[in-house]
Every structure is written in structure tokens, then in C-alpha cells.
Amino acid sequence: MAHLTSILDNDFYKFTMQFAVSKLFPKAKARYEFINRGKHTFPEGFDKLLREAIETMAQLKLTKAEKQFLREKCPYIDPTYLDFLQGYHYDPDEVKIEQIDGELKVCVEGYWYRTILWEVPIMSLICELYYQANKLNRVSNAEVCQIVEDKMVKYDKLHITIADFGTRRRHSYEVHDLVIQTLKKHPSKTFIGTSNVHLAMKYETTPIGTHAHEWFMFHAAKYGYKMANLLGLEHWADVYRGDLGIALSDTYTTKVFFTQFDKKLSKLFDGVRHDSGDPLVFAQMTIDHYKQKGIDPRSKTIIFSDGLDYEKVEKIVKFCDGKIGYSFGIGTDFTNDVGLPRMNIVLKMVEAKPEDGEWTEVIKLSDEPNKHTGTSKEIHIAKEILKIEA
């Protein structure tokens, strides 16, 4: 059955955020909940399979070789954090799992600096166990590799750079491993790295990522919606001093983000990440923003990472070429293109408790309304405060 073999089998931004959280908000707490966007039905006993897989994660430890890899690849991370990570272990008691008929409930609660690592591995385990428990057969290993190879031949012609962002909704660890192996062997400079730190180490490539929506969601809980983007980016810059300079823009809509992305931050950050809404509309907004701040957009980069496939990427390249820098993070189209329906699931922070604060509901207002998370009441309050039209 599915289980993880390395503590680094996770997205890079989980570790970069964990370092920042342990430094700035060591007493904050968080709650996360599983959201079944695709309305998948889970077979009887699935909760027990997931519980078994999660219990085994308590045994995972950072090895000396893994610590050395992080030390060499991430000079901007303090050695004190690497020592902390070496002593860290998953605590399965932080995870509550329930199943009622075909409906699965997963909740995570504890100190934010600890619970932050659960989201991605739990999602990847849910996906892998779902396919196993339903006895759904995928294409062969040779076909998995050929599908990736065929895509890369097309991507090469666009003269772009691509990273793998597919850990959370991969078909399985085995498929993900085959994908990175194929990308690494492919004879071009198109593939530049993966968000999966374990596979980056295994295949001697670069771990890629910065921060996620929860960073800004927590800042909203602590400082209010109007200050969330600004203080989130200021605090990120305080920790990383110019490294890891791609800003996530759509936690409270891109329009609101750009009102708070002032000239200092626009110059300091290398670019922005697109994760929802029309990518061409986003690209034009970003170009206009930089021009308005007196910054040449061609000196900045947009990382596109929202449900990409070749057709979308080709359109984006045609639109952006010569106007602004661009790169692509491709997820499930690499790691779950195996002849089966892809899962549509998330595990999101739903409440945060800042130090000396109360448990506070957190939400996400993406540029794509279907991607909003949180209660309708809190979403309405946030829209009022941020003057977002319904």
C-alpha cells in the first residue's frame, strides 16, 4: 500500500514557509480541512488505509545526506532550521480522519510550524490510495515515460523553461518518480527542476518554490485583510532578503494584490505567480502594473502554474513573448496523465490562531470563483472590506 519513504517527499514551499513560520510565528496555531472539490466517492474502509499510511509517517527522519543537500542547495536557510528539521517528526495525533459512507473528512490541527508539512503528503496519499482501493489500472510505465517525452518534444519548440509542480495530485509515487526520471533524461534545457524536494535530490535537479496561499491567509487572521498581502511580502523579504522572490498574487484577487504591491516590493521581488483566472488577463495586468511603477516588465517573470497543458502554455507564450519574462510550473498534466480521471481535491487552512489571538476563520478569494475557500459569510465580509464587487 501507499506510504512515504522520505520526509522530503513534499513541496519545497512547505519547507521555506516552515522556516519562516518557525522564525516569525512560532506560537501560532492552524487548522486545515480536506475539501473534495471533485465529489469523489471513497470506498468502504478508505479511512483505515489512510490512517495506516499516516501512522507510518511518524518514522520519517531527515537523513544526513538530505540535510547536506538542503545546506548546499538552499544557502539562504539558516543552519538552525536544518537542525530543527533533523529533529522534526510527523505527529499522527495532529490528524483526525473520519469516513461516513463514501464521504471522507480529514482535519489537521496544531502549532502552525508543525502542521504546515501535512497538506501535500496527505493529498498525495489520498490520490494514490484512491486509485489502489478502487483497483483502477493505469497505463504501463513505458507509456507514462512516452507521454512525458512526447510533451517535452512539443514544449522544446516553444523555447521555454518548465518545472514539475505535481506532487499533491500525482497518480502515485511510482508515476511521479518515472516522470522526473524522464524529464531529467530529456536532452534539452527546458526542464529546470521540481517542487518535490526528495525527487530533486534523487535526480540532482533544483527544488523550486516560494510560498503558498496559507502564508497570506494567516497574515489576514493576524493583521486583517487590508494588510495581508503587504505584510506577508514584507515578512517574506525580512526572512529571505531577496532570495525566493516570486510573489503569489491571488489569495485575495490579483486586483487587490496589485494595489498593495508597491514600488519597493515590485522592485524587490523577481516576479509573480499566476494560480487562477484567465492567464492572459493576468499577464496584461502584471505588465501594466510594472510599467506604471516605472519598471521594465521584461526584467520580471511570471510563473504560470494553473492547470496547464500544452495548448494553454502555447497561448501564454504567444501573448507574453517580448513583453515580460515567463516560466511554467506543470502539475497533474505530468504526474497524473495515466489514462484515468484526475482527482480534484485540496487540503486548506480554514482557521488560524495567532499568538495571544483567537481562532479566526481564514478564506481564499482567488481570481476563479470556483476556487474560493471559506464560508460564504466570511467571503462576503472580506469582499466588503476589500471593496471587491460581487
Model confidence at 75, in pLDDT bands (50, 70, 90)? very high
**How confident is the model over 76-113, as pLDDT tens digits?**
999 999 999 999 999 999 999 999 999 999 999 999 99
What residues form DSSP beta bridges with 29?
111, 353
- Cα 281 to Cα 254, 255, 265, 285: the distances in Å are 10, 11, 21, 6
Q: How far apart are CA 32 and CA 110, in angstroms?
A: 9
Whether 350 shows a pLDDT value over 90: the answer reads yes
- SS3 at position 344: coil
Structural domains for the chain? 12-136+343-363+370-384 (3.20.140.10), 141-335 (3.20.140.10)
Cell of 309: 497543458
Neighbour-count burial of 133, counting CB atoms closer than 10 A to its CB (0-12 exposed, 13-18 middle, 19+ buried): middle
Q: What is the 8-class DSSP label of residue 277?
A: S
Quick: pLDDT tens for 257-278. 999 999 999 999 999 999 999 9
pLDDT (0 to 100) of residue 373: 87
What secondary structure does DSSP assign to 348-372, as a single string?
Answer: EEEEEE-TTS--EE--BB-SSGGG-
**What number is the average pLDDT over the span 162-180?**
98
> Residue 231 in 3-state DSSP?
helix
- Residue in the structure block whose three cell numbers are 502554474: 305
Kindly give, in sequence order, each residue whose CB lies less than 8 Å from that of residue 263, ignoring residues fewer than 6 positions away: 293, 294, 295
| Residue 80, SS3 per DSSP | helix
What pLDDT band is residue 1 in, cutting at 50, 70 and 90?
confident
Which pLDDT does position 194 carry in this prediction?
Answer: 98
What's residue 390's pLDDT?
Answer: 64
Q: What is the per-residue pLDDT across 189-214, written as a single tens digit (0 to 9) for each? A: 999 999 999 999 999 999 999 999 99
Confidence of residue 371 (pLDDT cuts 50, 70, 90): confident
CB 244: neighbour CB atoms within 10 A? Answer: 23
- What sign has the CA pseudo-torsion 162, 168, 169, 170? positive
Burial of 101 (0-12, 13-18, 19+ CB in 10 A): exposed
